[in-house]
Amino acid sequence: MCTAISLLTRDHYFGRNLDLEYGYHETVTITPRAFPFPFRKAQTLNRHYAMIGMATVMDGYPLYYEATNEHGLSMAGLNFPKSAVYLPEQPDMDNITPFEFIPWILGQCATVPEAKDKLRKLNLINIPFNTTLPPSPLHWIIADASQSIVVEPMAQGLKIYENPVGVLTNEPPFDYHLYNIRNYLNLSPNPATDRSGITLTPFSNGMGGIGLPGDFSSASRFVKAAFVKCNSVCDDGEAQSVSQFFHILSSVAMPRGSVRMGEDKYEITRYCCCCNTNRGIYYYTTYDNSQINAIDMTLENLQGDQLILYPLLEQPQINIQNGPKGR
């Protein structure tokens, strides 16, 4: 379960909540331009655009959850367990595995239109990373500062949707979410108005949003994230924009105990991230550390051929303003 959003203030911001019951030793990962990306059924990318995002690095290969490249194109994979179908290899197609999809697009494309062009011949194939890591059932959001699309591998083939909302969650397929959101056309950030014909006044602020879902299902998170994001108001400074982005994500974050997965297993928002795609600055928080941490891709040697890794700062960091530390 996850939620991803694309937000434009003065700059463009892209990020997501990663909701899982356990982690995979994820780390903020910068892939410089000369790191070779070998693909199982396609030619190796020896030179490509640099990118930054969250990944699990396995056998020296970055398995990206989401990333942004040096031109500002961003992409995230979200769980799609009921509907995702990966097909056998097909001749005359670009046969790419799901774990290769993010670097294949971000390594070669600078904009959503360029990504769309690559998608015309894409065939996502059913090949695992290794014998212990089968293909994850995913769908993807791809965004730049101008537009957003959703890519879904279905039994009927690859589905590509325009995404005017700039939000993606999980099942059902994206066309359902676009249809379902019409059930909430009445929602408003404005005060509730009397439509009864008698004199009634609201007794609380926020009553224009009565009916806004508050549960953690993917359909409800889509609606709530869309409502909060589309009504978002903030100054366009960097600190204000980043703060606002994390507030939007926190509106659909999962506290431990709210979504039970089994005996003593709970789905939680393991991390939230936000990338300023214009500047290549990647921000993140973790479940236990709500301090916003930042890594600037442009300060690294992007001409190199080795991955640059930043382990997550996961311990709580509390600023005690008075009294002894550790109280």
Q: Is 275 a catalytic residue?
A: no
Q: Specify the DSSP element, H or E, that contains 177.
A: helix 174-180
Kindly tell me the sign of the dihedral angle through the C-alpha atoms of 120, 8, 227, 164. negative
CA–CA dist 124, 152 (Å, integer): 10
Evaluate whether 318 touches 38 at the Cβ level (below 8 Å): no
Out of 2, 109, 272, 273, which one is annotated catalytic? 2
Nearest CA to 31 among 316, 285, 323, 301? 301
Measured distance between the N- and C-terminal CA atoms of the chain, rounded to whole angstroms: 36
Q: Which residue has the tokens 């031109």?
A: 71
Q: Which residues are catalytic?
A: 2
